[in-house]
Amino acid sequence: MNTGQKLKQKVVRICRLLHQKNLIAATDGNISVKFGDGLLTTPSGVNKAFLEEDQIITVDFAGRVIEGQGQPTSELAMHLAVYRLRPEVEAVIHAHPPLATAFSLAGASLEQFVLPEVVLSLGVIPTAAYATPTTAEVPLAIRELIKHYDALILERHGALTVGRDLIEAYNKMEKLEHTALIIFAALQLGGVKNLPAHEVEKLLQMRFSQKLQSS
């Protein structure tokens, strides 16, 4: 089995995991991963729970289809923008995690230091301003945030995560929604207490050291 086939298998598996974990529904969401001189992307208008390897589309970094039937994801411009701004990124996932999306509908933020493991893995989770889905507004809305963060909420439009491979990008999406669930539960129980400033500083230093070691 060649590298391309193995990557396609991973894309299919991640799509099914996203559906099983209730991070996407119906034809929601899209995935891309670097391959050769271009990207493997999920197709537009396909329920990702039933995605097959032969439906995955190969595009170049200008967005032109190299191989595959149908249309690549309608959010391809957003994916391409991420790769231009973050050359080290190898995979991008856009999903519609319900609670994280609900936070943006309510005007509530996840951009706070409350869980040590989230500070270590994600830093904070900012929210990008609303942009009409599938339009050129979306790359513009994420432009400044994606330079500094690996997980973003897209106001009224789900979330975006990036990674050095598909598994890392997926883990960050799962972590993002799990964080929203914990914070939501804490709010129901009376409120959220932020980590002390000295602890945040210690965790951020550890995060910085981990990133240096992995670069």
User: Is 206 among the domain residues?
Assistant: no
User: Would you state the pLDDT for residue 209?
Assistant: 86
Strands 30-35, 38-41: pairing is antiparallel
User: Is 79 among the domain residues?
Assistant: yes
Instruction: Kindly report, residue by residue over 172-202, the tens digit of the pLDDT.
Output: 999 999 999 999 999 999 999 999 999 999 9
CATH number for 142: 3.40.225.10
Mean pLDDT computed over every residue of the chain: 95
User: Is 35 among the domain residues?
Assistant: yes
User: Is 207 among the domain residues?
Assistant: no
Catalytic residue among 75, 90, 117, 201: 75
User: Is 199 among the domain residues?
Assistant: no
User: Is 215 among the domain residues?
Assistant: no
Please say if the pLDDT value at position 212 is more than 80.
no
| Cα–Cα distances in angstroms (integers) from residue 174 to residues 94, 177, 180, in the given order | 12, 5, 10
Instruction: Kindly report, residue by residue over 75-96, the tens digit of the pLDDT.
Output: 999 999 999 999 999 999 999 9
Distance, CA of 65 to CA of 93 (rounded, Å)? 19
User: Is 184 among the domain residues?
Assistant: no
Interior CA angle at 106 toward 157 and 30, to 5°? 15
User: Is 194 among the domain residues?
Assistant: no
177 catalytic per annotation: no
Q: Which domain holds residue 136?
A: 3-112+121-177
What whole-number percentage of the chain has pLDDT above 70? 100
Interior CA angle at 53 toward 88 and 72, to 5°? 60
Q: Where are the beta strands (DSSP E) in the chain?
A: 30-35, 38-41, 57-60, 65-67, 91-95, 127-128, 151-154, 159-163
How many domains does the structure of the chain reveal? 1
Q: pLDDT-based confidence at 215, cuts 50/70/90?
A: low
